[in-house]
Structures are given as C-alpha cells and as structure tokens.
Amino acid sequence: MSRLAGSVHCREPFHSLLCVVAQDRKTWRKPRNLEDRAEPGATEDEAAVIDGTRPRFACCRGSPSVTALERALLPDEVYLGEIRTEPVETAPAPGVAPSSGLRRLLIGLDAIAAVAGWGAGLALTGGVRVPASSPTLAMSLLVVGALAAATLLLITGQRLYLARVCSIRAVEIGRLWRAAAFAAAAALLLPRVTPVDVSVTGALAGAGTTFLALITARGVYRHWLQAGRRDGRFLREMLVVGSNEEAYELCKLIADHPELGFRVAGVLGDRREVLDLGYLVPWLGPISRTSAVLGQTGINGVVIAASALPPVEMNVLIRTLLRRGVHVHLSSGVRGIDHRRLRAQPMAHEPLFYLEPVRLAAWQLTVKRAIDLSVTVVGGLLIAVPVLAVAALLTKLQDRGPVLYRQQRVGRHGRMFTVYKLRTMAPNADELYDELARTRAGRDGPLIKLAADPRRTRVGRLLERLSIDELPQLWNVLRGEMSLVGPRPAQPAEVAAFDDELKTRHQVRPGLTGLWQVEARDNPSFSAYRRFDLFYIENWSVSLDLAILVATMQRVLLRGVELVFGRKAEMSASVVTAPALD
C-alpha cells in the first residue's frame, strides 16, 4: 500500500522528538544515542518519557530526574516544521483497527443470526402459510430471507454499526429488541402485499428467537474483539489534547481499558506539566500544533480534556477539527456519574447538562431483595444443587481434602461474615497467602489474585473458570449477608488498605457478581477495581443489576464455549463497552 510519510525537521540538531512519522506509528524512532541528548544524570527510562520509546501506558507518577530532563532533553521550543512528503511503501500499522473489515464481519454475524432466528421461530410454530399452488419450502425460505433482510435494515437504521451508539450494552440490547419487534410488525403486514400469511404466534416467536440470536452473536463478537484488543490488535490511535491532571487521568483510563478500542499515541499540551505528572506517552508539542500533528501522523481522533483549555481556545479548536473530519471526544469533567443521569438541558441554545440526583425508591430495594430470593431459590433447586453435587464429588476425589472453603470477609456496614466457596486450591493454600501478598500477585493494589494461581488444583481451575466455585455463596445470599449483584466481598487485609472513599462500598451488601467482575475481572489495574466499585455505589439501580446479571450469564456461557473448543483467550463480557466500527 502506498502511503504518504513525512520527515519532520526541527531547529535543534538532535533527532527530533517526532523524527519520522509513517503509517507504522506504533513506535516512535529512538535517537541513535541517548547520551547525546541527556546529561549524565538522566537515565534511558527518563529520556524515553519524551521519545515515547518506553512501553506505553505505565503511567506512573513522578520521575527522579525531572530537572535534568528539563535542562538537557528538551530545547526551549520544539515545533513541527516543514513536511517533506513522498510515496512510501508501508505495511498496515500493527494494532490499528481496519474498521470497515470489522463492520463487515459484524454485519455477516447479524445476517446469520437473523436468518437462524426467523427460520427457527417460524419453523417451530408453523407460522408461515402459503397458497396450495406455491412450493411451500421455497416460499418459506423466501419469507425468512425477506424478514432477515428487513431486520438488518432496521439494525442499520438504529445505527448499531456505529461504536458511539452501541458502545453501551444496554442501548445495544434495547435497539436490537426494537429492530426485532419492528420486523415482526412487518411480518404481520405481508398478507397485504403478498399471498403469504404469517401468524401472530409465528411473528412473535420469530422476533424472540431472532433477538436472542442477535445478542448471542454480538456477544461472541464482542468477546473476540476485546480479547484481540487486549493483545494490542484492533486499536484506534488517538491524541490527548491537554496536559493537566484531567488529561493524565484520561490517558490512564484508556491505558487501563484496552477493550475500549483506543491507544494514546501522544499528548499535546504544556511540556512542563507532562514531565511533572510523569506521562509515559510522547509529548508531541503545544496544543496550538494539534492540527499539524494530526496531519503529519494521519491520526483522525482526539480526546480533549475540557479543563485544560480556556473556553474560547477550546471552541476554536473543536470547530477546526470538526471541519477536518476528525473524531472529537470531549470530557465532561465529572467522574463516576452514570451517563443516564446526564440530561441535555441547553440554555439559550448553549449546550449544558442537568445532572439527575440519585433517587432510589423503597420499592427498588424491595425488588432487589425479591430478585435475590427468587433467583437463589429457583436457580439453586434447578441448577446449583446438581452442579454442586458433581463438583463436590470431583473435588473430594482429587486429593481427599475438604470440599468447602470458608473465609472471613467484610460485609455491609463493615460486619464480618463467613463466605462459602468450593475449594479450588491445595489444602495448604492459606500458608502461601503471605508470599502472594508480598508480591501483590502481579497487581498494582492490595488485591490478591493471580491469573494462573500456583495454588489452584486441576479441578479447581475448571470450577473457577466456569464460576462454579461461587455457587455455595447462594447460601450467603439466602441469609441476607450477600446479594446477587454488588461489590466483591473484600478480605480484611484488603480493606485495611482501602481509603475512606473506597470504604463506602460497605454501604451495600457484597455481591456474588458485580460490575468489576464482568468488566475488569482479569484487569490487573487496581484503579479499575476502585472505579467500578465506586460507580456502582453512586449509580445503583434495578436495571443496572439486571444488566450485570445478563452480562454474567453471557460471560459464563462464553467461557464454557472456550473450554469446549479448547480456546485460551481471556474473557471480558462487557456491560458498557462495544466495538469501534466508525
């Protein structure tokens, strides 16, 4: 593929901060000799902060030789000068998402799901009646194809092939149901224009099976895409505009959640702030050079930290970028607030948001407890008891050790309670806990959790993979010590390391599953754990609980599929994220 690449010339004699920018933007070219640019006190890691050659997104604060960096590594002014362009043969950039290919794949999956859904629904109910003179099979297949095509058109009309629309799982599910319902209405109108008759029962059954097939197909697609993104594929490069505290947090947010589909290629702002805050992505220049950097790198998306720019400058920049066709993401400045609580409330045609307060009626708490009891009783009798019986037998036969594992956890209002699990680790697992605590199990916070825990038994790995080891906690739910959905029940040693804000998680019952478990269970970032817990406490509702329960079931089912087909990709069913297609 022929692509334009630019050689960037700077006023200083050393290799410029941007050097050569080609389509492969994954790594910024490193100067031949770091010592040529840094004083003896500046380390290679520190110089890499500016070059962007250090592995991305470590995002740790501070640098031991900031002063040396400021004196030696950067000139008074670094700018992007003339661009000399020439055709260059380049390969596709690693990790950059070919959005058109992803869109075609998703459309193909939707088509298969729609055909299968309408075919199964109409076949099971005998819902298609054709004239005696017409071939029944051919006409039935024609009806299924027409309804599947209508469903795809309705999905397109719902804008469900744009990431900015389907990035929220609840919105995606709602619009898929709407598309299936409208397709059912179209099926009932067929007798008016064709000799084929579709019964009400057939239309309703077809809409239901099509809806289930669509959310299943999209769930599989989402899982595959997120696994690829965690491996560094299917990512869209973005620039962060601004260099203050908010911009730093935006960089860290994107780094903590690769499943969002973005990668920060660099930051534009004040270089002193970049050094002081410890950014480990390249500084690409002042904000005034945003358009020039976008033109030279070929990147077409920015995330603007609203608090980093004066209002007049921000408005001019946004309009300039939109005229160029750049995708603009603008921060709101608020954190931990559910988007559904933000209401567009313009004043004199100026865009403002009204923030809805949290109003939880007493009936919501009653409904939450009713869901806990009904699902626990019904699910326990129909599913949990026979599954637990088999799992307990396998656990016992493996090493003749105890079947159940009991541990003290911190519950609502800080009260201690005993949590029950099927034993998945060696009998002496607790003796190894202190060693894991010292190593922090590969995480950056107090949580003790390993992706491949050496203490876990062979049977235990299977039980943990399918979350069967958590089923005994239905007893805790029945006793009122836990809920089906809530923050993860923390150990006392972990709680001791929590700050006062995070301890507000004890205002609600801990959950068998929760937002962190379905969004970031395999994410090693403690900030993700903290953010999801605080978000749940701030924005809890019955609808959010139901969305988490659906995502949990999807997660478990997909993990089962992985085991059947021998796949080892990590899994992260998502409530709030979706593919980037636009």
**pLDDT at residue 324, as a whole number:** 92
Q: How far apart are CA 247 and CA 235, in angstroms?
A: 20
Report the C-alpha gap between 345 and 458 in whole angstroms. 56
User: How would you write the pLDDT of the chain (582 residues) with one tens digit per residue?
Assistant: 333 333 333 333 333 333 333 333 333 333 333 333 333 343 444 344 334 433 333 333 333 333 333 333 333 333 333 322 333 232 334 444 456 688 889 999 999 999 999 999 888 888 777 666 666 777 888 888 999 999 999 999 998 988 777 777 778 888 999 999 999 999 888 877 777 888 889 889 999 999 999 988 998 888 888 888 888 888 899 999 999 999 999 999 898 888 888 999 999 999 999 999 989 899 999 999 999 999 999 999 999 999 999 999 999 999 999 999 999 999 988 888 877 788 888 888 888 889 888 776 778 888 999 999 999 988 777 888 888 899 999 988 888 888 898 989 999 989 999 999 998 887 766 666 666 656 554 556 666 666 566 778 888 888 888 888 899 999 999 999 999 999 989 888 888 888 888 888 888 899 999 988 887 776 667 878 888 888 888 888 888 898 888 888 878 887 777 776 654 434 334 444 434 444
Residue 59 and residue 61: Cα distance in Å, rounded?
6
What is the reported pLDDT for 443?
A: 55
The Cα 510–Cα 419 span in angstroms is 11
Query: Hey, what are 513's tokens?
Result: 């599953």
Structure tokens at 263: 């990668």
Annotate 420-441 with DSSP letters as a single string: EEE--B-TTGGGGHHHHHHHGG
Q: Residue 449 has what pLDDT?
A: 62
- The domain segmentation of the chain, as residue ranges, is 2-96+235-344, 99-230, 362-540
Q: Are 513 and 552 in contact (CB under 8 A)?
A: yes
Q: Which of 205, 217, 269, 215 is nearest to 243 (CA)?
A: 269
Residue pair 280/240 in contact (Cβ under 8 Å)? The answer is no
Q: Is 348 helix (H, G, I), strand (E, B) or coil?
A: coil
E strands, 428-504, in order: 483-485
Q: Is the dihedral of CA 18, 20, 22, 26 positive or negative?
A: negative
pLDDT score recorded for residue 575: 44
> Are the C-beta atoms of 150 and 186 separated by less than 8 Å?
yes
Q: Compute the radius of gyration of the chain from its Cα atoms.
A: 27
pLDDT of 507 reads: 87
What region does 62 belong to: left with phi over 0, alpha with psi -120 to 50, or beta?
Answer: left
Handedness of CA 268, 269, 274, 277 (dihedral sign): negative
Residue 149 burial (CB count, 10 A): 14
In CATH, the number for domain 2-96+235-344 is: 3.40.50.20
Q: What is the DSSP string of 53-106?
A: -SPTT------TTHHHIIIIIS-S------EEEEEEE-PPPTTB--HHHHHHHH
Q: How far apart are CA 552 and CA 24, in angstroms?
A: 38
Question: SS3 for 293?
Answer: helix
Exposed e or buried b for every residue in 40-65, given b needs 16+ CB within 10 A?
A: eebbeebbbbbbbbbebbebeeebeb
Per DSSP (E only), the strands in 9-82 are 20-21
Contact by Cβ (8 Å): 375, 553? no
| Bridge pairing between strands 301-304 and 416-422 | unpaired
Reduced to 3 DSSP states, what percent helix, strand and coil does the chain have, rounded to the nearest 5? Answer: 55, 15, 35
Distance CA 257, CA 527 (A): 11
For tokens 């799982």, name the residue. Answer: 169
CB atoms within 10 A of CB 510: 24
Query: Which among 71, 73, 83 is positioned nearest to 53, based on CA atoms?
Result: 73
Phi-psi region at 57: left, alpha or beta (left = phi > 0; alpha = psi -120 to 50): left
Three-class SS of 498-525? CCCCHHHHHHCCCEEECHHHHHHCCCCC
What's the CA gap between 369 and 290, in Å, rounded?
52
Between CA 210 and CA 304 the distance in angstroms is 40
Place of tokens 């009891």: 373
Distance from chain centroid for Cα 392 = 34
- Residue closest to 377 by CA, chosen among 298, 484, 465, 281: 484
CA distance 168 to 156: 16
